[in-house]
Amino acid sequence: MAHPLTRGMNIDDPKTTELRRYIIREKSFLRLIYKEWYQKISASLMPDQRPVLEVGSGGGFMEEFMPGLITSEVFYLSSVSLVLDGLHMPLADNSLGAIVMINVLHHLSNNARNFFTNASRCIRKKGAIIMIEPWVTPWSKVIYGKLHHEPFKPNAVEWECTKDGPLSSANSALPWILFSRDRQKFENEFPEWRILQIKPMMPFLYLLSGGVSLRSFMPQISFNFWRSLEKALSPWMPCLGMFAQITLQKR
């Protein structure tokens, strides 16, 4: 079921990300998921939270939903504005209104503290960090623990893991560790950040889309059915969600 365009390719090779940009657009089921994520993030931003930097833009197209968005990636891609490492952002103090990202924080697990230290310096007061990341629930433990290719270590003691490449270095459980399991520790270390929202979501849609690595398991015509099912299951998302929208505001 591996997608033929990226089968056997190195995930840390920029060429793989360029191909994934095409895949996200070509797979209509997956494109609808990204569109929904972008709409959620855009709707969560306040008018005064500008300019906005997207860290790890990769193969996405968030700029189509957010005019003026500053796109970035850790390596050169023809589609992004900046080559930028989220752990060492060469930006002026208080120069940003917000940072947004999708499926990026759990790849910064070699030193997540550096990201928040940099974000605290670059984002002005009342600014925000808005992200959509993998989340730990009884259902997602089964999927991430047994069916997903990325490392998944909810019992990791530290907020880091052995550094591999820029994308292969990961712990899909890191967002949950930071903002749920170790929430008090995070708030003690970064008191300037208030956790406004953690909203678990999407137990089935992304899985059925096959993501960027696999072929779709469902046709686009079934998207609204699965979306309606997830909406009906909203009260059970703390047990079922595979992802979470996490919003932080700088005090």
Residue 48 DSSP SS3: coil
| pLDDT band with cut points at 50, 70 and 90 for residue 1 | low
Q: What mean pLDDT value characterizes the chain?
A: 92
Each residue's pLDDT tens digit, 17-41: 888 888 898 999 999 999 999 999 9
pLDDT (tens digit, 9 = 90+) per residue, 233-245? Answer: 999 999 999 999 9
One-letter amino acid at 162 equals T
What's the rounded mean pLDDT across residues 134-141? 98
Tokens of 112: 């997540």
Cβ atoms of 101 and 84 closer than 8 Å: no
Cα atoms found within 13 Å of the Cα of residue 150, Cβ hemisphere only: 27
pLDDT(168) > 90? no
Task: Supply the pLDDT for residue 133.
Answer: 98
User: DSSP state, 2?
Assistant: B
Amino acid at 208: L
* Beta-strand runs (E) in the chain: 52-54, 70-73, 82-83, 96-102, 123-134, 193-201, 243-250
Q: Distance between CA atoms of 37 and 135, rounded to whole angstroms?
A: 15
Superfamily of domain 14-250: Vaccinia Virus protein VP39 (3.40.50.150)
At residue 46 the predicted structure's pLDDT band, cuts being 50, 70 and 90, is: very high
Confidence band, pLDDT 50/70/90 cuts, at residue 3? low
Residues 52 and 45: beta-carbon distance below 8 Å? yes
CA torsion, ordered 165, 170, 175, 178, to nearest 10 deg: -90
pLDDT digits (tens, 9 = 90+) for 57-93: 989 999 999 999 999 999 999 889 999 998 889 999 9
Q: What pLDDT band is residue 139 in, cutting at 50, 70 and 90?
A: very high
108-132: pLDDT as tens digits: 876 889 999 999 999 999 999 999 9
Average the pLDDT over 158-173 and give the result: 82
Residue 184 has pLDDT above 90, yes or no: yes
Contact call for residues 128 and 247 (beta carbons, < 8 A) = yes
Q: How confident is residue 150, by pLDDT bands cut at 50, 70 and 90? A: confident
The pLDDT value given to residue 88:
87
Q: Would residue 139 be called left, alpha or beta, if left means φ above 0 and alpha means ψ between -120 and 50 degrees?
A: alpha
Is 20 within 8 Å of 229 (Cβ atoms)?
no
Average pLDDT over residues 122-151: 94
- Cα separation, 50 vs 47, in Å, equals 7
Highest mean pLDDT among 73-82, 161-170, 179-188: 179-188
pLDDT, greater one: 4 or 42: 42
